[in-house]
Amino acid sequence: MKNNSNTKLILLHPSLHKQPPSPSFLSHRLCLSFFLIIFFTTLFILSLITTISTSAANSAASSASSPLPLSVTKALLHYASLSNSTTKSMSFTEINSIATTLHLTPNPNFLIFGLTHESLLWSALNHNGRTVFVDENEYMISKFEQSNPGIEAYDVQFTTKVSDYPKLLSQAKQESKRECKPVQNLLFSECKLGINDLPNHIYQISWDVILVDGPRGYFPAAPGRMSAIFTAGVLARSKKVGKTHVFVHDLGREVEKIFSYEFLCEENLVNNVDQLGHFVVKSENNNGGSSVFCRNSSSPLSVSASKDVD
């Protein structure tokens, strides 16, 4: 009997016994991949939307925080409605001269004598500063304030007349060492040319720009601008430090020219465009004893005005 001694070796290769993935495993893997794709896509979209929304919100907030000032809007509407008006007003060159000074003066204190066609414009151009109006007409002041909330305006009762200007000039020159001196608190002044019945705080403000465009001065019985010009000169010299830009409109008229040269001084005249004179008056608060407004009194007719009174 023959014995079979050959041993048979059976090699088991792993691949021979690797089980194919079950359908359920493939399904889970596919779901996981799909979930990851959806997740990261959603995350990207949300991030993009958030970025856009934040940018839009910041832009809107920025616009809301710096809107066009209401005063500018009202002024634009005002001038649009009066574009065909025949009301006498300043020329573009005159307006531009004042606007340039306001622009170059940080947050200026702006005092204006006279309510005019340009009043809303001045308030709009100086929306970062303080603007105060003074006028002879109580009714117009009240109406102006009611129509424009936030406007600061005061009425003044002028007792002067254009026809009296020679006498007023002579008296002021004679009292230049006492009641009509260049540096003083006008609130306590008895000078006939000084305006002393404004609210107390007006005399305490350091005015950077003053515009004299009122009161009326085009006929003999009108109040004239003598007091406004004198007061502007005293306020400018009485401020603690610095200088004041004083503009006088209608400088070509006799009274405006004489009183401007007498109390604002020709040597302080830095520009003259059309009918607008631009004076720059320095503070003399440290020289309170001075009784001289100008180094050279060159006002036309000032000498003859004194003779007329004598």
pLDDT tens digits for range 235-244: 999 999 999 9
Q: Which domain holds residue 137?
A: 92-309
**Does some domain include residue 67?**
no
> Would the CA dihedral through 142, 143, 147, 148 be positive or negative?
negative
CATH number at residue 242: 3.40.50.150
Higher pLDDT, 205 or 87: 205
How many whole angstroms separate alpha carbon 8 and alpha carbon 52?
75
Q: How many domains does the chain have?
A: 1
pLDDT value at residue 30? 65
Sequence-separated (6 or more) residues with CB below 8 Å from residue 59: none
Residue 19 has pLDDT above 90, yes or no: no
Residue 88 φ/ψ, nearest 5 degrees: -65, 130
**Does some domain include residue 10?**
no
Is 177 in contact with 293 (CB distance < 8 Å)?
no
Q: Which two tokens stand for residue 97?
A: 């001269």
Peptide bond into 215 cis (omega under 30): yes
**Does some domain include residue 218?**
yes
**Does some domain include residue 104?**
yes
Q: Residues of the chain with pLDDT > 70: what percent?
A: 68
**Does some domain include residue 39?**
no
**Does some domain include residue 14?**
no
Please state which of the ranges 5-9, 108-112, 115-119, 151-155 shows the lowest mean pLDDT: 5-9
Query: What strand order describes the sheet that includes 152-155?
Result: 152-155, 130-135, 109-113, 209-212, 243-249, 276-282, 269-273
Higher pLDDT, 269 or 74: 269
**Does some domain include residue 76?**
no
Residue 175 has pLDDT above 80, yes or no: yes
Please state which of the ranges 75-84, 118-127, 207-216 shows the lowest mean pLDDT: 75-84
pLDDT tens digits for range 264-288: 999 999 999 999 999 999 999 887 5
Q: How confident is the model at residue 296 (pLDDT cuts 50, 70, 90)?
A: confident
- Predicted TM-score (pTM) of the model is 0.74
Higher pLDDT, 45 or 302: 45
**Does some domain include residue 246?**
yes
Residue 139 φ/ψ, nearest 5 degrees: -65, -45
Is 122 in contact with 112 (CB distance < 8 Å)?
yes
Class of residue 169 by CB neighbours under 10 A (exposed 0-12, middle 13-18, buried 19+): buried
pLDDT value at residue 1? 45
